[in-house]
Amino acid sequence: MWRTRLFAGLLLILLGMLAWGASVVVHDTTARWFAKDLTLRSQLAVSGARQALLTRWVPERSQDLEEVLSEISRDERIMAAVACNPDMTPLAKTPGFPEQFTCTLMGDGLLTLAGAPLTDRSVWQTSSTLPGGSVHVSAIPVFRGDRQLGFVGLIHDLSFLERRAWAMRLFLWITFGILALAAAGVTLVAVRLAWRGWSAEFRRFLEGGAPAPEFQPILRDVREFVQRLSEEREVELQGGKWTPQRLKNTLGQHLHGEKVVILANREPYIHERKPDGKVSVVHPASGLVTALEPVMRACSGVWVAHGGGSADKETTDAQGHLRVPPGEESYMVRRVWLTPEEEHGYYYGFSNEGLWPLCHIAHARPVFRNEDWKQYDAVNKRFAEAVCEEVDSDDPIVLVQDYHFAVAPRYIRERLPRATIISFWHIPFPNSERFGICPWRNELLEGMLGSSIIGFHTQSHCNNLIDGVDRFLEARIDREQNAIIQHGHRTLIRPYPISLEWPVRWVASSPSPKECRASVAAELCLPADGLIGVGVDRLDYTKGVEERLLAVESLLDRFPEYRGRFVFVQLAAPSRTVILRYRELNDSVEALAARINAKFGQGSYRPIALLRAHHEPPAVFRYYRAADVCYVSSLHDGMNLVAKEFVAARDDERGVLVLSQFTGAAKELTEALMVNPYDLEEASAALATALKMPAREQQDRLRAMRAYIAEFNVYRWAGRMLVDAARLRRKERLTGRLTGGFAEAPGSPS
């Protein structure tokens, strides 16, 4: 409504300005007309009295001449008249003729008339102001034959013209004013009537009535908007931020506290038997686990995963069940056992030699073996069965994690047609040209489409999946809703950028950044003004570890002032070492670090500290908190949680994040120093900039990124997905899908 008022106000102002402009134009035009009119009148007055003037134009008859002038000035507009000699002296004038209009003034005026010689048709004129108002002054020559006797000067009263102009202006203002009010009034009434119709239509729609067809598209948007608003409101009421409690409440409110079952290859806690015979619990180096574990703590439920630890079997019951986290026991892990052949084909083979390089632009050739595919498919089926054993209703909520389980959603759907299955793909999804090289591309896509929702970190990965389906499958794409409909079943494709728990629990239990720095600097034998860089990764070729070490070399080449002062600590957890490409990477990183250390090392100083081992989270956070700079140089990464962890670790608001532009995180952490990791000059310059960055700027950048992660934390990530799932279930119930199988009802909402 305020828009309408604004529009009406603007209309009023516009019409006012129009009225003012029109009055100026009218005034100028009429003034020009009156000036012409007065010239004519002056000529007429003088030529009418010509005879009388000629007979009396001698000094002796100045008395008579004055009478003639008085006769001329009897015209109601002529105030006074004067007769002047050619030598510019007055011959006669009417009483009260204004002193300032001298014969000299008027005579000089006549002389300035350009062009032809003066005649009795010539007129000089000007306007002036007297205390009583404006006047018009004119001078007209008087000739006897060819001889000029002199000239007559006339003073015209112009005050009537001003009065007339004011009257005209007033008239225009009133006319335009009435017009403006009428136009604004008509607009307001028209909008009010339209608004009433629209709001009645909205209300009817929101109350569940059938809207008029022309309103349907906009009303659908409005309903979604209102729903979003009410959710935002709910957020505000709960203090604005997503927390474990809020996630629990959301589950209770939207999903009535239903149990969530997670299917992931990696388990959150691995039991390993150490050489001394003791069993230890290991937190795996995995972004997926880092993100999902806090969600499970908040939601409870069951996490179904491969039991890969050497002491995993002996720490579970006969069904592979174990309550975790150790000491808290808030949710259940269900371990699934794989034979070495199964693990080889499904995990190392198809998942990590096939799909992983297929999805990452990191110049590793995917290897697809028929035997691996068979294992992958069979293992997916086994895990799907394990999920179905863990559910306690026929319409459970299942979160399927990552590329290891592309076909599991279809197997779960076959057994539980009413399940709500959300698949989240933690790595990039390739474009259709690249995806098309996979011999089992159709089977993978069909499998994924068993899901109710498929999530990616970014919209561009969503688009790639949709394009792939468009290209390879018989399916209908609803581009407006970002949905795929196949065999009557609808799958929504949505971006959900993953994040961390906030605050990260390892930060609170860590020593202060100062203490961390002192202890790490001592370990590295750094001088007092020493500087520390850090990189934290699984040793994977997509993480750009080689490019990172080369950037450090370039920094020391180009900026010698850092030699002897700067040490880059690379924590590198060995990963997938069964695969040749990973073993090669391991060797080449080691060789590279040794070469750079040999080049710049001196005494006890080594610029690269390569710590090739798995580190438990407190150790990882100690390095984050000690560092001046953290460099994340992934060649391609779905999100990259290391970047977010570094920011979360720095509650002292010190340190700089240098981040590869090819990570999903780069789209969110825009205050990081962004680099192309292949461009060693750019990367080393960014490292130098980071090491010189003033404390104030470090603080500004970190503060902005910390605020972002605090808000967009992992509870929000999970909450958004689960709320979308709940909405979907509501819609499905409404359209009767749950009673009639999972086929989409005709015209069902998305």
Residues that bind ligand ADQ (CB under 6 A): 285-288, 290-291, 426-427, 498, 536-538, 571-573, 614-615, 620, 637-642, 645
Residue whose CB is less far from ligand ADQ, 77 or 622 = 622
Residue whose CB is less far from ligand ADQ, 43 or 588 = 588
Q: How far is the CB of 718 from ligand ADQ (least distance, A)?
A: 12
- CB count in 10 Å sphere of residue 83: 25
- CB count in 10 Å sphere of residue 198: 15
Nearest residue to 690 (alpha-carbon basis) of 572, 595, 528, 559: 559
Q: How far is the CB of 370 from ligand ADQ (least distance, A)?
A: 27
Residue whose CB is less far from ligand ADQ, 55 or 661 = 661
Q: How far is the CB of 620 from ligand ADQ (least distance, A)?
A: 5
Answer whether 303's CB lies under 8 Å from 270's CB: no
Cα distance between residue 163 and residue 154, in whole Å: 21
Residue whose CB is less far from ligand ADQ, 293 or 446 = 293
Q: How far is the CB of 260 from ligand ADQ (least distance, A)?
A: 17
Nearest residue to 450 (alpha-carbon basis) of 491, 479, 396, 478: 491
Q: How far is the CB of 497 from ligand ADQ (least distance, A)?
A: 9
Residue whose CB is less far from ligand ADQ, 151 or 582 = 582
Q: How far is the CB of 720 from ligand ADQ (least distance, A)?
A: 15
Q: How far is the CB of 290 from ligand ADQ (least distance, A)?
A: 4
Nearest residue to 86 (alpha-carbon basis) of 51, 65, 59: 59
Residue whose CB is less far from ligand ADQ, 407 or 641 = 641
Nearest residue to 405 (alpha-carbon basis) of 444, 437, 369, 368: 444
Q: How far is the CB of 396 from ligand ADQ (least distance, A)?
A: 23
Cα distance between residue 650 and residue 703, in whole Å: 9
Report which secondary-structure segment, H or E, holds 676.
Answer: none
Residue whose CB is less far from ligand ADQ, 219 or 666 = 666
Residue whose CB is less far from ligand ADQ, 27 or 543 = 543
Q: How far is the CB of 239 from ligand ADQ (least distance, A)?
A: 26
Cα distance between residue 303 and residue 324, in whole Å: 10
- CB count in 10 Å sphere of residue 557: 14
Answer whether 681's CB lies under 8 Å from 208's CB: no
- CB count in 10 Å sphere of residue 210: 9
E-strand ranges in 226-283 read 260-263, 270-273, 279-282
The token pair that represents 344 in the structure block: 């080889």
399: β partners: 262, 422
Residue whose CB is less far from ligand ADQ, 15 or 291 = 291
The token pair that represents 354 in the structure block: 């096939």
Determine the residue with CB nearest ligand ADQ: 287
Q: How far is the CB of 466 from ligand ADQ (least distance, A)?
A: 20
Residue whose CB is less far from ligand ADQ, 288 or 556 = 288
3-class DSSP state for residue 138?
strand
Nearest residue to 714 (alpha-carbon basis) of 428, 293, 301: 293
